[in-house]
Amino acid sequence: MNVPNHIAIILDGNGRWAKAKGMPRSYGHVKGCANLETICDDMKELGVKYLTVYAFSTENWKRSREEVEGLMKLFRSYLKKCLKIAERNQMRVKVIGDISAFDEDIQRKVIELEEFSKDFTELHFQIALNYGARDEIVRGMRRLARDAVDGKVKPEEIDEAMIGSYLDTAGIPDPDLMIRTSGELRLSNYLLWQMAYTEFYFTDVAWPDFNKAELIKAIEKYNERDRRYGGTKEE
Ligand code: IPE
Ligand code: IPE
Ligand code: MG
């Protein structure tokens, strides 16, 4: 089995999963968060080098105050726990997205976790928090425009690699496989620039139920794909 170098996941379906059990949405988020710990161990075991998960989008602020507050509480405890998970898996953690919108203590926890894990190289784990691909492009292009105004960049020097270097994912290879759980067939503003040639895998399984067996199934499907990048099939 050829294991993808970089897997991106849209971890969706926590709310529906909980509702189906007669439980509040927050219960689904707690279980979904616990599953995030397990999946990091699984990725490490399978030899995946990069994992990027979508945990909170720029659009998710539209949810009820109660739900957003519950998620913030969960992020606080998860970011703390993640120090141990990072050490266990020798995993470097980075947060992508605009963290300036979060309370200061959350921002501090993010910086602490990134700093703590910066020399680990077994697994590169990106958590997308207050992330939206369009917002990422806007923020990056503002910085690029600033550098152009300051004379650091000439318009004719701008190429695809340079644009990539202004995004939150600078230095991280593009995803090979994108998995979305829980049945929705859309990107929801995730990694629009980075996923130009990524293979997509959609499953009806809800995020809290997505386990190692399901992950292997996704990787097996990925192995059946004929990746061409615009070329022709090799004989
Ligand atoms: C994904 O589950 C987690 C977040 C977006 C924070 P949802 O909360 O979107 O669950 P559904 O899609 O409503 O079931
Ligand atoms: C996408 O899921 C964002 C995250 C998983 C964090 P949503 O559940 O928010 O997306 P939509 O609203 O169904 O498009
Ligand atoms: Mg959803």
181 lines ligand 2 (CB under 6 A): no
Residue nearest to atom 14 of ligand 2 (CA): 188
Over 80: is that where the pLDDT of 234 sits? Answer: no
Catalytic residue check, 60? yes
Three-point CA angle 11, 16, 17, nearest 5°: 75
Which atom of ligand 2 is found nearest the CA of 56?
6
How many of the other CB atoms lie within 10 Å of CB of 97?
24
Question: In the structure encoding, which two tokens stand for residue 59, read together?
Answer: 């659009």
Over 90: is that where the pLDDT of 69 sits? Answer: yes
Q: Tens digit of pLDDT for each residue in 115-162?
A: 999 999 999 999 999 999 999 999 999 999 999 999 999 999 999 999
Q: Tens digit of pLDDT for each residue in 83-99?
A: 999 999 999 999 999 99
Ligand lying closest to the C-alpha of residue 15:
1
Over 80: is that where the pLDDT of 195 sits? Answer: yes
Asked whether the CA dihedral 77, 34, 218, 200 is positive or negative, the reply is negative
Q: Tens digit of pLDDT for each residue in 7-35?
A: 999 999 999 999 999 999 999 999 999 99
57 lines ligand 2 (CB under 6 A): yes
Model pTM score: 0.97
Distance of CA 66 to the CA centre of its chain: 24
Catalytic residue check, 135? no
Rounded Cα gap, residues 54 and 176, in angstroms = 16
> Who has greater pLDDT, 205 or 234?
205
The mean predicted confidence, pLDDT, of the chain is 97
Over 70: is that where the pLDDT of 235 sits? Answer: no
Q: Tell me which of 5, 14, 41, 60 is the catalytic residue.
A: 60
pLDDT level of residue 233 (50, 70, 90 thresholds): confident
- Rounded to 10 deg, the angle between the 104-116 and 65-89 helix axes is 20
For residue 127, the cross-strand partners are 53, 95
Pair 231, 9: CB distance under 8 Å: no
Asked whether the CA dihedral 77, 78, 79, 82 is positive or negative, the reply is positive
Ligand lying closest to the C-alpha of residue 14:
1
Pair 171, 94: CB distance under 8 Å: no
- pLDDT value, residue 162: 98
Residue type, 226: D
Rounded Cα gap, residues 42 and 207, in angstroms = 15
Task: Work out the average pLDDT over 171-187.
Answer: 98
pLDDT level of residue 53 (50, 70, 90 thresholds): very high
Three-point CA angle 223, 228, 234, nearest 5°: 85
Write out the E strands in the chain: 6-10, 50-57, 91-96, 123-131, 177-180, 199-202
